[in-house]
Structure 1
Amino acid sequence: MSPFTPAETSRYVMANPSWKHVLVGRFPLGYSSWHDIVAAFTSFRLVGQYELYGLCHRHIIIRLSDSCDYVTMLIRGLWMVRGAPLHVFKWTPGFKTTEDPSVVPVWVTFPKLPLHMYHRDMLFVVTSRLGTPLTVDAPMARRDRCSHARVCIELDVSQPLVDRFLIDLGDARVEQRVIYERLPRYCTSCRTLGHAVVDCRRSGPSRVAMEARRGPRPAVVPPIEERIVTPIEERIVPPIEERDATAAEMTGRRRRRRMRRRRQGRVDGMG
């Protein structure tokens, strides 16, 4: 049993600055050279310092010192390293190399917000009930648009999403609509991004339909050691004399059959 509870682990990670801006990079096909990864990160032109650690042949750990670099890499999500795609996710204490994280950055639109809420700090307070806000888009930052606000939020796509909520204005409450942009699909069965549970090939209905079309499985052949094999010494083998006599009898039958055919052919020719 672990000596730390999940809540204690989260508090420790949040209190430790070295774990504040840590990302996970995943190569779907694996990476071939560590030198290529180092050269690619040099070309990314990150503002602050960073450290790279190899986790396995498909995953790397990215520790960043600058919060802007962290947000930039996380929001973009997909980077290229010498032609190989690199998917970037947020690191959490419960990260597993066999599963995709369910917390991903998603752009969310809030149409027709109250005018006094078109401010970054106000938006972060309002949108924190949905997830962790990361940044706002450029028009929102310049305050030259008041029709809607766009905020990038870290969402747990494995959980049910809120499509509207109430904003308390003090003397009144306003119902706010939520629009998610390019919401990624997440399979809670195989813990993978890119498809839903109904489309899962491992345990979804599509697998059941595929097995139904395939038909019944063939009978299982028992292992060799379980098969009944008659020992050689118990097999009935006729003596050599009997086998020779049988072979001679068969040869004689063939010879007499050929002679009858020849005689029949002569009789037919004479007629």
Structure 2
Amino acid sequence: MALLAVGQSPPVEAVPTAQLITEDPLKKTYANTLKPIQPQYKPIPLKQIAYLHGEPKIVWEEEEVNQMIINEDLQYAVVAKFSYGWPDIQDLRRLIPKQCELKGEVNIGLLSNRYILIRATRLDDYVNLLSKPQFYITHNHWSYPMRTLKWDPCFDPKEETSTAIASISFPALPPIFFGKEAVFSLASAVGKPLQVDLATQNKTRLSCARVKVEVNLLGEFPKRINLGMRMKTGEVKERWIHINYDYVPKYCKSCKLQGHNDK
């Protein structure tokens, strides 16, 4: 520090100016919600072998299984089934992301005969893959039908999962309830809400709010939901909101396969 002469005032330090914040850092944009997931890897402890009637047995807890799903990047995993032939796996790794219009990185591997596993990293890619009845993968002037199924730890090629993604909508829903939290709350009466469509997100189609929901095809689906608003007086104003099922995959209880029903 330099010495000051007698009567000399110390220099005035520059005072930092406040920085103008032009964007709310806490506000989540639609693009941010579609960014690749950031899994938190945690090691799974080794398990001790037990014996049942002389045969080895091992059991993992549900929390451990959920962590394994994260560790192996399987949160957005989709099973793709080819029933009438398929291109080489190396070609599929190149063709599927492009022809299925996937936006994020994917890992594609052979699961078993006719089945491949697609590990997506984005929610919108996961929803897109499971929202169509069938894709057609074109290669060398041939078109190969490809159906998609939700992957789960108990996947069995002989018994396809009854879990699928349905598209539902709420016609004549008041605009005040078009927020994601409100739409998701309503959709939870049907299943696990995953994603609202762009028109609902942008409030450009106020005739209905549409949302993709993960459902159990063996369950019963409600036809309407009662929406209430509690006033300060204690009075609850209610109205019934109809639920439209715009697209629900079919499931055959006899064959235990998706794509058709028992009829």
State TM-score, norm by structure 2: 0.66
**Residues 8-157 of structure 1 mapped to structure 2, 5 A cutoff:** 8=63, 11-12=66-67, 16=71, 18-44=73-99, 45-81=101-137, 82=139, 83-157=143-217
Q: For residue 178 of structure 1, what is the amino acid of its counterpart?
A: I
Cα shift at 1:22: 0.8
User: Shift of residue 54 of structure 1?
Assistant: 0.4
State the Cα distance separating 1:9 from its structure 2 match.
Answer: 6.1
Structure with greater helix percent = 1
Q: Which has the higher contact order (CA 8 A, sep 6+)?
A: 2
Conserved? CA contact 1:185–1:193, under 8 Å:
yes
From the superposition, tell whether residues 15 and 49 of structure 1 become closer, same or farther in structure 2 (CA, over 3 Å).
closer
The runs of 5 or more residues in structure 1 that have no matched partner are 200-271
Would you say the 8 A contact 2:226–2:238 is kept in 1? yes
After superposition, the Cα gap between the structure-2 partners of 1:30 and 1:10, relative to the gap in structure 1 and judged at 3 Å, is farther
Cα contact 1:30–1:57 (8 A) shared by 2: no
**How many angstroms does 1:13 deviate by?**
5.4
Q: Distance in 1 between matches of 2:179 and 2:239?
A: 17
In structure 2, list runs of 5 or more residues that go unmatched: 1-56, 231-235
Pairs aligned (count): 197
Structure 1 residues 160 and 84 mapped into 2: Cα distance closer, same or farther (>3 Å)?
A: same
**1:193-212 matches, cutoff 5 A:** 193-197=258-262, 199=263
Q: 1:4 to 1:138 in 2, by over 3 A?
A: same
**1:151 is paired with a residue of what secondary structure?**
strand
- The structure having more radius of gyration, on CA atoms, is 1
8 Å contact from structure 1 (residues 9, 93) kept in 2? no
Larger % of strand: which?
Answer: 2
Task: Give the letter aligned to residue 118 of structure 1.
Answer: F
Q: What is the aligned partner in structure 2 of residue 208 from structure 1?
A: none
For 2:226, the aligned partner's letter is L
SS at match of 2:193: strand
| Structure 1 residue corresponding to 2:220, chosen from 160, 169, 175 | 160
Contact 1:164 1:176 (C-alpha < 8 Å) held by counterparts: yes
What's the offset of the Cα at 1:2? 5.6
In structure 2, distance between residues paired with 1:162 and 1:13:
34
Local SS of the residue matching 1:72: helix
Matched residue SS, 2:186: helix
